[in-house]
Structure 1
Amino acid sequence: MKKIITSIAICLSGFASTAQVGAVAPNFTADDINGTSQDLYAHLAAGKVVIVDMYATWCGPCWSFHTGHYLEDIYAEFGPNGTNEVVIIGYEDAQNTSLDDMYGTGSNTLGDWVTGVSYTLIHGPVVLPAEYGTGYPTVSVICPSDKKIKYNLFNSGTLQQMKDDVQDVITQCSSVSISESPLSIELSIAPNPVTDITRITFDALSSENAVVNVYSISGELVLTSNYNVEVGINSIELDLNQVEAGTYLLKVETSSSVSNMTTLVKM
């Protein structure tokens, strides 16, 4: 009985609690329910607005928000099948729950939180920092350029107001994508994740020298490799044996063009 009362109290505190709008969102790295590593700052570095829905499977207001399909509607408009400007992460934050609870088969849940959801879901290995809120739910909208929380969508009221708030962050905060430049490099990396050696494939605009830079999430240069490339499609080999496991950002530059930062995962 004590556990149930405590859970209800924490959930109800979500009405008075809110994400710390204006605060810098601390980074977190965790595997999603499909086993793919998710790093908040990697998404932000790629110029994406990130929405973090912090909830608990036993929380009534969280369940009402979830079954309203607000985030699914937002993801359809702003996610990869829409404008591709937003990443959404549903982060189950409570430490007294299990993955079974997310699927609706556990003993500490109000239903199935997974079926019908197309955005990323994480059963959090740790509680998120206080900047994301001290009660459930909070739905933080994070700006890529300064990493600050701009809105808590749980307080927005209507779906249209939520979409307006997201669009405001996109307009005010999204980094200008290098791919909008006529001198951009479109590249692919395979395999990715990689254990030792991967290949980078891209279309060079001229015969020249190409520099591949690999950065840590914090922006530190980890590796630089130089290549002579020819006009047209090039496939170059990148040796990552000396790079520690983790999530990185890769960029290809030549004298006439540059690529977007692309996420690279070293296993």
Structure 2
Amino acid sequence: MNKHLLITLITLFSFQSLFAQLPNGTIAPNFELTDLNSVTHKLYEDYTDLGYTVFIDFSAVWCGPCWSYHTSHALKDVYENHGPLGHPGVNASTTNDVMVFFIEGDQNSETCLGGTGCGTQGDWITGTPYPIICTDANSGFGNPASIASTWAISGWPTVYQVCPDRTLQSIGQAQSLYSLVNACLPPPSFNDDARSFMNSSASSGCSSIEPVITIQNYGLNNLTEVTIDVSVNGNPLPSMLFDEYWDNNTNQYEPLNLTSLDMKDVVLNPITDLVNGDVITIDVSMPNATVDSDPLNNQLISFVVDLGFNNAYWDGDLSITVSGATNTNAWYLKKVSNN
């Protein structure tokens, strides 16, 4: 059976604004960040793509609940017992399948992290074995201050679990963190397997939508094509073969060739003549022109159309007049439709 991802779009102009944080099950943004020891970390390349489940604590030094969670040592314990073999502070008997980060996302300085200034709750550095990321622009580490907005952080602390397939979950201030690792999908094991996710970049007009989805290769073979089927209220539209993409660097279409776990955004054909309440369903199938090796992890994307208005119209002519010292400008808008 398929796992269903049901998304109601209140406004397609600002899809992500629907959520206080990144929705569970969506793709975690990649990052390249430098810790206080000047070690650079890449989320995908160094960790998730190598099979690690990553826990990320976004906190602010002045935040009381952040300090309480930090000093509960839930993250420290899971890092020491399950972190990457050979990393500082990790036990030799580690299961070697977890990584942990602390990101001070409110742009406070390393001095504040050390326990001085900024209304800090204490010394966040001493006794913390896992990497600490400072986002202060003057710190010299070069970490982007925008990391908190990229990850849609709306409150402190926000703790995410990122699975090896790059999907994320918000986990609150969970204590038994290693028990959450088994909730992640196993690594790719079939030759031809594709997954799909709703993207936040959908655009709309008065009665049309141009959806954007993300395709992920979850197979061992390189992914060179998929079939995309769209229906409106159960009525199928023509199928779309996705086997090439527009490359802004070369200014031309390039053949699709995704290695395992790699992703590509797909702008679908515009869906027109829509009204509020229509249900759009998007299904991705036939990776590499073969039957999906593992249909159990497929996601059927379905959402209810809300164009942001309720068949608004005006009854009669509308005029707008702006008068200046020497002239008058006027515009006249006339009703031509009730839609």
TM-score (norm 2): 0.42
Partner of 1:136: 156
Candidates 95, 110, 123, aligned match of 1:83: 95
Secondary structure in structure 1 of the residue aligned to 2:44: helix
Deviations 1:186-241 (A, max 9, x none): xxxxxxxxxxxxxxxxxxxxxxxxxxxxx9x979xxxxxxxxxxxxxxxxxxxxxx
Alignment partners' CA distance in 2, 1:90 and 1:53: 5
Q: Is the 8 A contact 1:20 1:132 kept in 2?
A: no
Mark the CA change 1:30 to 1:130 in structure 2 (over 3 Å): closer, same or farther: closer
Partner of 1:164: 179
Q: Is the 8 A contact 1:24 1:131 kept in 2?
A: no
Matches within 5 A, 1:135-154: 135-145=155-165, 147-149=166-168, 151-154=169-172
Deviations 1:45-83 (A, max 9, x none): 222111111111111111110011110111122113310
Q: Is the 8 A contact 2:101 2:130 kept in 1?
A: yes
> In structure 2, what residue type is equivalent to 1:134?
S
Per residue, is there more helix in 1 or in 2?
1
Larger mean CA deviation between 132-141 and 16-25 belongs to 16-25
Are 2:117 and 1:106 aligned?
yes
Q: Is the 8 A contact 1:23 1:131 kept in 2?
A: no
Alignment partners' CA distance in 1, 2:26 and 2:179: 21
Structure 1 position 40, deviation (Å): 1.1
Partner of 2:12: none
> In structure 2, what residue type is equivalent to 1:127?
S
Secondary structure in structure 1 of the residue aligned to 2:127: coil
Alignment partners' CA distance in 2, 1:163 and 1:27: 22
| Percent identity over paired residues | 34
Structure 1 position 174, deviation (Å): 4.4
Alignment partners' CA distance in 2, 1:135 and 1:174: 32
Partner of 1:183: none
List runs of 5+ in structure 1 lacking aligned partners. Answer: 1-15, 177-214, 220-267
Matches within 5 A, 1:199-218: none
Partner of 2:296: none
Mark the CA change 1:103 to 1:143 in structure 2 (over 3 Å): closer, same or farther: same
Larger mean CA deviation between 64-73 and 77-86 belongs to 77-86
Structure 1 position 105, deviation (Å): 2.1
Partner of 1:5: none
Alignment partners' CA distance in 2, 1:175 and 1:51: 21
Candidates 26, 29, 36, aligned match of 1:26: 29
Candidates 39, 43, 64, aligned match of 2:42: 39
Mark the CA change 1:167 to 1:74 in structure 2 (over 3 Å): closer, same or farther: farther
Are 2:58 and 1:54 aligned?
yes
TM-score (norm 1): 0.53
Alignment partners' CA distance in 2, 1:116 and 1:174: 33
Mark the CA change 1:18 to 1:60 in structure 2 (over 3 Å): closer, same or farther: farther
> In structure 2, what residue type is equivalent to 1:101?
C
> In structure 2, what residue type is equivalent to 1:89?
F
Deviations 1:163-206 (A, max 9, x none): 3113332xx24467xxxxxxxxxxxxxxxxxxxxxxxxxxxxxx
Alignment partners' CA distance in 1, 2:124 and 2:102: 10
- Structure index of larger Rg: 2
Alignment partners' CA distance in 1, 2:64 and 2:110: 18
Alignment partners' CA distance in 2, 1:106 and 1:33: 18
Q: Is the 8 A contact 1:49 1:174 kept in 2?
A: no
List runs of 5+ in structure 2 lacking aligned partners. Answer: 1-18, 85-90, 136-142, 190-258, 264-339
> In structure 1, what residue type is equivalent to 2:54?
V
Mark the CA change 1:155 to 1:174 in structure 2 (over 3 Å): closer, same or farther: farther
Q: Is the 8 A contact 1:104 1:111 kept in 2?
A: yes
